[in-house]
Homo-oligomer: A and B are copies of this chain.
Amino acid sequence: MRIVFPLFDQFTSLDAIGPFEVLSRLPGAEVVFASAEPGTYCSDAGAALVADHALGDLTSCDVLVVPGGPGTRKLLHDEPFLDWVRTVHDSTQWTTSVCSGSLVLGAAGLLKGLRATSHWGCAGYFDAFGATFTAQRVVTEGKIVTAAGVSAGIDMALALAARIAGEEEAQRIQLLIEYDPQPPFDSGSPAKAPAAVLARFS
């Protein structure tokens, strides 16, 4: 089972590494980090990950995971990249995204008529894609699964792991990565964050 994470400049590292840490532990998983040109790609916050495959060498995969980050904005007008997404999507069992990675799926035309989620700050993009932004942690529409912002990729990947390999396997991975979240604050969504915190984003 080949799982591909495309990387690009200014991706958000947890968008990729969250689901990576779950999906890479599925039986038979082969994870590939790929990019337009193989090399090192720096995240928006300064983590450098290596993509050792070229997108052009990958025309199919079983699971596609498109991470988000500020760098997605440039991808929305990157026709070769969008073409690659469309081509690979034809072959996937699951086409997924985390955070603003769903904007890339939208720009590739894959979300027309569908509901999708993304980072809460990206809600305004979806009308232009013919899609409906839905403020849920994970949205599944056929084989397309979109996750909300950054950390939501972990929840998405566990749900996907269960679909791929069964609930017990997903639960085994959850225990392995000790995913028993206990955030010290309850400020993880616009609906829950204190007004003063939300105001910092306006």
Contact = CB atoms under 8 A, between A and B. Distances in A.
19 contacts: A14-B17, A20-B47, A21-B150, A21-B151, A24-B45, A33-B48, A48-B52, A119-B178, A151-B178, A151-B181, A155-B182, A162-B184, A168-B194, A172-B197, A174-B185, A176-B201, A177-B188, A180-B189, A181-B188
Contacts of A17: 13-14, 17-18, 47
Interface in A48-89: 48-50, 52
A189 to B, nearest CB: 4
Contact of A189 (B24, B178, B197): B178
Interface in A159-202: 159, 162, 167-168, 170-172, 174-185, 187-190, 192-194, 196-198, 200-201
Contacts of A115: none
Contacts of A158: 183-185
Contacts of A175: 187-190, 193, 197-198, 201
A16 B150 CA distance: 15
Nearest to A45: B24
B167 A180 contact: no
A152 interface: yes
Q: Indicate the member of A45, A152, A180, A181 with the most B CB atoms within 10 Å.
A: A180
